[in-house]
Structure 1
Amino acid sequence: MTETMTRIAAGLERAFAERGFAEPSVEDLRDAAGVSLRTLYKYTPSRADMVLAALEHRHTRYLTHLFDGLPNAPDAALDALLDRIGAWMATETAHGCLFHGAVAADPGSARLRDMLGRHKAEVAGRAAEVTGLAGREIELLVIMEGLTQAWALHRHEAVRGAKELGRALPRH
């Protein structure tokens, strides 16, 4: 990804995360991306492409946040991973999961549903790998998604509960 495209995607991600997918005008998105309208359309020719660019950027940031530098021991990796999800929720997701929000805003978009599926599958697959829970991707995804949903109401107690559930999963 070029430096310009990265800057555009970061600005679009911020704009959509702060204001949702319906509210920002193209001019608002241009301003958030910090480029001219011509440059914005050169890199993202449609609003749908703008949303996908924002989600790709978010995906990369989320994977880096969750998985870079995790402890090697599976139980420690699980605890750290769930702590990091809690930290992400505290700092990045005032309005919930951006991927689910994008699909909710345009439920007929196969591209968005595919992006959501790819994002969740990669997160669950990598989580299973680092925690020694291969074959338990769906269970891990349910725990992680439950944590993201419960965070708004229960914060650190949601993280604690997710850790207990994760530790209870049998390893193959």
Structure 2
Amino acid sequence: MADMMSKISAGIERAFASRGFAEPSVEDLRDAAGVSLRTLYKYTPSRADMVLAALENRHQRYLLHVFDGLPDDTEEATDAILVRVGTWMATETSHGCLFHAAVAADPNSGPLRELLERHKAEVASRAAAATGVVEAEAELLVIIEGLTQAWPLRGDPAVDAAKRLGHALRVSFV
């Protein structure tokens, strides 16, 4: 059962990431998930559930991509996190944060807003722990979010700028 949910979540995440939240029809999402319409609705009974499942899948993948196997050295970890965010932007989406896009598409959805807040809080917490500046969660999140928003406009130079900001932050807090 968990394997089927993972398959569905991964497929619909790809569809939403490449086409946005408004464009893909339920049939498109079914095709992306590689399941029957009945199976899609069994695991995700509404379009809102489909969006949440896709974002939960993305949340887990993002955390693994950015934070798994970081260097023990906190300065190296800082650079690695920011480089990995840039790589994520280059390979997974070049349009900005999918979580923010989902909330923008349905601004009155409490569950979407809660998922966005949980995702960002976990990113900030993990970044602070990995970089050794636990008192700078908010600042680290601003740097990561800034990189996410600047990457579509600047690409790799945005990563370099974020790394400089990360180093300056470490100097001011360590």
1:92 is matched with 92
The separation in 2 between residues aligned to 1:134 and 1:82, in whole angstroms, is 17
Instruction: Give the deviation of 1:95 after TM superposition.
Output: 2.3
Q: Give the letter for the 2:28 counterpart.
A: D
2:28 is matched with 28
Unaligned runs of 5+ in 2: none
The separation in 2 between residues aligned to 1:149 and 1:20, in whole angstroms, is 16
Instruction: Give the deviation of 1:46 after TM superposition.
Output: 0.5
Instruction: Give the deviation of 1:128 after TM superposition.
Output: 0.2
1:42 is matched with 42
1:171 is matched with 173
The separation in 2 between residues aligned to 1:73 and 1:161, in whole angstroms, is 20
- Runs of 4+ in structure 1 off by over 2 angstroms are none
The separation in 1 between residues aligned to 2:30 and 2:105, in whole angstroms, is 20
Q: TM-score, normalized by length of structure 1? A: 0.97
Q: How does 1:15-164 map to 2 (within 5 A)?
A: 15-164=15-164
The separation in 2 between residues aligned to 1:96 and 1:105, in whole angstroms, is 14
Unaligned runs of 5+ in 1: none
Determine if contact 1:147/1:159 at 8 Å carries over to the other structure.
yes
The separation in 1 between residues aligned to 2:94 and 2:11, in whole angstroms, is 17
Determine if contact 2:11/2:33 at 8 Å carries over to the other structure.
yes
Q: Give the letter for the 1:103 counterpart.
A: V
Determine if contact 1:7/1:33 at 8 Å carries over to the other structure.
yes
Q: Tell me, what secondary structure is at the counterpart of 1:108? A: coil
Q: Give the letter for the 1:159 counterpart.
A: V
Identity value in percent: 70
Instruction: Give the deviation of 1:94 after TM superposition.
Output: 2.7
Alignment of 1:12 onto 2:8: no
Determine if contact 1:132/1:171 at 8 Å carries over to the other structure.
no
Q: TM-score, normalized by length of structure 2? A: 0.96
Instruction: Give the deviation of 1:136 after TM superposition.
Output: 0.6
Q: Give the letter for the 1:84 counterpart.
A: R
Instruction: Give the deviation of 1:144 after TM superposition.
Output: 0.4
Q: Give the letter for the 1:43 counterpart.
A: Y
Q: Give the letter for the 1:128 counterpart.
A: A
